[in-house]
Amino acid sequence: MSQAATASPPAPERVARRAGNLGDIAFEWACKGAGIFVLLLLGAIIVELFIAGWPAFRAFGVGFLTSTDWDPVQEVFGAGVSIYGTVVTAVLAIVLAVPLAFGAAFYLTELAPVWLRRPVGTAIELLAAVPSIIYGMWGFFVIVPFFAQNIQPFLIDTLGELPFIGALFQGPPFGTGIFMAAFILAIMILPFIAATMRDVFEQVPPVYKESAYGLGATTWEVMKGVVIPYTRVSVVGGIMLGLGRALGETMAVTFVIGNANRISTSLFGPGNTIASLIALEFGESEIGSLKLASLLALGFILFFLSFIVLATSRYLLRSRLKG
């Protein structure tokens, strides 16, 4: 009896077990190799951009980050205007998109009928599938003329006359500019933020909300007192993901931002971003020139900014999952 219990398994079973172990080991190393390859590729991109942009950093020093000069004739370049445009358009896009994304997520999780949640959610997510150049063309040919003729003159005549903040809403009503770029970016990042908010709102344990309703709380009070505190880290992570998407957008911004290398106090004034400047100037740059090195240095700065933002968002989302 004991001899039968301790007997080794038949030969085919041992072969199958050994083959399964080999398959597990191969799969493990394949996954490790894929992860290491991605890390090496990321590091190679960062190093290559830094090396290619080093002549600009060496020629202009730290002042390259704050200089507003961009003169290809005199070979004097600075990143100040494009960094300013990148940060302002991205932050303003977040300001415009977050309330809409929150409203959409709130409606889909708390107010919408069950039969309507999937179609509306799918429609919002489909916005992410639209190519950026389509957004740019739509903005330039449809939104810009409408804004210049109907919205911008009204804002200039009203908000532009206010003290302190009036300077932000002054200037000729051309339609293009920093604000229009931020508006188009807000539409582009809306589905990313809304989808993240909806998913994390649905992860709140029903017993928490039912307890609040049992105490007499309204739907908004449940959202404000239960759902938002429970999901705030993930919500911030989703917003950071949208911010990272807005920082690197190229073609849509190039269509509507005005592409002027100056810093304007008005949100209606033209400007540029790092991505739009690279898109416009890269094809005209000669290999080995200081201009090309400056553009690649801008690429390194943009890569660094995007990496910090996305890494922060991933950290926040993972901390929420662990909690």
The structure's pTM equals 0.85
Task: Using the predicted structure, report yes or no on whether residue 60 has a pLDDT greater than 50.
Answer: yes
| pLDDT for position 62 | 87
Q: Quickly list DSSP for 95-148.
A: HHHHHHHHHHHHIIIIIS-HHHHHHHHHHHHHGGGS-HHHHHHHIIIIIHHHII
Q: What is the pLDDT of residues 287-303, one digit of tens each?
A: 878 989 999 999 999 99
Candidate from 17-21, 108-112, 143-147, 314-318 with smallest mean pLDDT? 17-21
Task: Using the predicted structure, report yes or no on whether residue 107 has a pLDDT greater than 80.
Answer: yes
Question: Which residues, 6+ apart, have CB-to-CB distance to 312 below 8 Å?
Answer: 237, 240
Task: Using the predicted structure, report yes or no on whether residue 311 has a pLDDT greater than 90.
Answer: no
Which amino acid is it at 20?
Answer: G
Task: Using the predicted structure, report yes or no on whether residue 37 has a pLDDT greater than 90.
Answer: yes
Q: What is the pLDDT of residues 158-179, one digit of tens each?
A: 888 888 888 888 888 888 999 9
For the chain, which residues make up each domain, given as ranges? 8-59, 62-322
State the average pLDDT for the chain: 86
Task: Using the predicted structure, report yes or no on whether residue 67 has a pLDDT greater than 80.
Answer: yes
Task: Report the CATH number of the 62-322 domain.
Answer: 1.10.3720.10
